[in-house]
Chains A and B, each alone.
Chain A
């Protein structure tokens, strides 16, 4: 196992970003993701990159806007309250069709909340990163290896579709160490960016990146065009993992750390003879509608396991068209469900809702 090293999830994100060709990082410290900034501060100067601790989260996201305009791979990272501050910038990036990678290592909220792990920014990430009609590609890693892989993937998708990719992790995923193999990461070079504001060299007209559009007929067309791209992403980029779903009577829906906890519960329930499986969305937007729709044909119920008051559960209901019951198994505010709690929910569902 010589080529595997133990890394924290936060460090794996940072190193994978560098491998993906990111040479510009802007951020402002906040627990539980500060290791990303610390890692970048150490590494960027050694490889000719730029690490800058901004004066605020808002400044950092606007610096991202600048580098993205110049056509280079760029990222920022924060945790829940800091991501809210970046909301305006996320909307401007979308309105200007600029690619970027934004990492949210979530903590409990709302408000300043706490610093323990949470998944309660699901709505914010998948629905309302900022004002206006726009989407972000939302990637949800469930291991440190995936933290690295989805960082690379995030940059590639951002460039391909000219939009923001958000890596949506949580405090556990950021703080835990697991073996990682980085040598196997495959990186596609960034595509040509003829729209970038990187100097005309007297060869072309000026490029301008801008999200202001005062003629409603034109702004509508920009929105239509953007949503055509979104439809393409929904058709081509959805990612998920199925676990023991073939003969399942009950289906767990869980992402990130909730999927890790649920996997223990699924294994234990199987030992007890309960036919339970799991669908783990890897892209939260686009949401993997197809496997949930297909599962609704043969399962008795779905259980959405979340570190929130129940947010992804709405997408599970939409995807399964509410054809079978969907229940919630959750903790909130920085607490994490135990495998025993999930197992209880499975047993209850298997008994038709009774203990």
Chain B
């Protein structure tokens, strides 16, 4: 029986909610119990965005994640706000293009991925989120092509089918980062 609690955070436009939705859908494809809860507030474009995702073998109780096992921080305010909340032994994935400082805790595993720079260099500047997701899945030992393809088919509408390939490429780049 295992439960993984994720917290994704960044600013509006980085695909934070989409990244969370991807992980939740992958859980559904993998036959797990899942929940996805966005923060909502009087937000404006460019403001902060975050979402809680729980993937579990058991029924999910509270959908609120206060001590994440996995924190994905896509900007500095997110790392500042949530670094201390991560469960001891948990993992922090930081977009090191936008976050210049290092994580100060020594009881968590930290992965710095220059996702925003990698996304621009590879011609898909909007997919920094998927690069980080690739890294997360790879570190969790869950980078499984079949399940990822099935998930992408769920979260990318038929209208945007052309994006499927490029999302997969972004995730693969992240996995190797």
- Chain A interfacial positions (CB closer than 8 Å to B): 1, 4-6, 31-32, 115-116, 171-172, 175-179, 257, 260-264, 267, 336, 338-339
Contact = CB atoms under 8 A, between A and B. Distances in A.
B34 A178 contact: yes
Given A31-B40, A262-B61, 6 more contacts: A6-B25, A115-B41, A172-B37, A176-B35, A176-B63, A178-B35
A262 B168 CA distance: 39
B101 to A, nearest CB: 29
Q: What band does the interface of chain B fall in when counting residues whose beta carbon is under 8 Å from A?
A: 20 to 34
Label chain A's interface by main secondary structure. mixed
B40 A175 contact: yes
A175 B38 contact: yes
A4 B42 CA distance: 31
A176 B37 contact: yes
20 contacts: A6-B21, A6-B24, A6-B34, A115-B41, A115-B42, A116-B41, A175-B38, A176-B35, A177-B35, A177-B36, A179-B34, A257-B62, A260-B60, A260-B62, A261-B64, A262-B61, A336-B64, A338-B62, A338-B64, A338-B66
A4 B25 CA distance: 10
Contacts of A262: 61
A276 to B, nearest CB: 14
Interface string B40-67: 1110000000000000000111111010
B62 A1 contact: no
Contacts of B175: none
B85 to A, nearest CB: 12
Contacts of A336: 64
Contacts of B64: 172, 261, 336, 338
Contacts of B177: none
A1 B29 CA distance: 7
A32 B40 contact: yes
B24 A175 contact: no
A260 B63 contact: yes
A176 B36 contact: yes
B134 to A, nearest CB: 21
Contact of B28 (A4, A116, A171): A4
A260 B60 CA distance: 8
Contacts of B60: 178, 260
6 shortest interchain CB distances as A-B pairs = A264-B61, A177-B36, A263-B61, A261-B62, A176-B37, A176-B63
Contacts of A177: 21, 24, 35-37
Nearest to A144: B35
Contacts of A171: 40
Contacts of B41: 115-116
Contact of A178 (B36, B40, B61, B62): B36
Contact of A6 (B36, B40, B62): B36
A1 B31 CA distance: 7
Contacts of A263: 59, 61-62
Interface in B65-90: 66
Interface string B113-135: 00000000000000000000000
A257 B64 CA distance: 10
